[in-house]
Structures are given as C-alpha cells and as structure tokens.
Amino acid sequence: MSTIEDEFRTDLQNDIFSELGKSVTLITKSGINYNSWGEEESATTTETTITIVPYNITNNRYSDQPMGELDEGDFEAAVPYDTSISAGDLITMDGITCEIKQLSKNYLPGNVCTIISLTKITPVVTDDVAST
C-alpha cells in the first residue's frame, strides 16, 4: 500500500523531474588535505550524473528568497529526495560550474525532494594568463 509521501514522490518524478529536469554533473569531494594555512591542497573527486529542476534564476543584482539572498546569476533547484548531495559539492551544467551553498529537505507530506541554493564559481585568473 502506497503512502501520500510515495504518491508525491512518484508525481514529482513523473511530472516534474522527467518532464522539466536537466541532467547535470555532480562533483563531490572526499579525502581533502589542507596545508598549514587551512587551504585545500588535494582531494579525491567523484562525478555523478543527476537530475535537477532549476528555478528562481536571478537576472538582477540580487533577490531575497526563503533560503537567503541570491546574487545575480545564482539560482535554486529541486533535486529528487534520494539524491545524495551536500553543501560544498559542485554542479556543472552547460559549461558553468556552481557550488551548492545550502540545501533543505522539502517536507510536504514527508521528504519528497531537496531544495538547493547554488552560486556560480568565478574562474580564477592567474598571473600567467593576465600577462599575455
């Protein structure tokens, strides 16, 4: 016998994630090593393809949202409830890499999806590139 939670999950999967979802690459880090200054020196990364539904894409300077302020270009996305993600993980889509700033389980009749807040990572310009 299915529960309301199961029905919501099925409806979200069939009507939202399958129809509107976008395949992206999730990059998770493990075994992170830090130097004496606390800077990351090395880590093992794992890449997985997941489905998200982006929304609240900002095109103004900022936007106040339930999970905090979104800067220009930041956005939120819904992720299936059973996707393993953490704050600090990276998502790459359409050649853009974003960091997961915050996540929140969405408990409508139970845990039916996770809402994540993402921010674009600005590429670092090195002196070698800047001097050419």
Structure confidence at residue 48 (pLDDT): 94
Q: How many CB atoms lie within 10 A of CB 120?
A: 14
* pTM across the whole model: 0.72
Task: Map tokens 């409508």 to a residue.
Answer: 108
**pLDDT at residue 42, rounded to an integer:** 79
The residue extents of the domains of the chain are: 4-31+38-122
What are the mean pLDDT values of the chain's consecutive 10-residue runs (132 residues total)?
80 84 90 84 88 71 50 80 91 90 78 87 56 46
Confidence (pLDDT) at 64: 46
For Cα atoms 72, 57, 102, give the angle at the middle one, nearest 5 degrees: 85
Provide the CATH topology of domain 4-31+38-122.
Thrombin, subunit H (2.40.10)
Question: What's residue 119's pLDDT?
Answer: 87
Q: Residue 17 burial (CB < 10 Å; 0-12/13-18/19+)?
A: buried
CA distance 17 to 12: 6
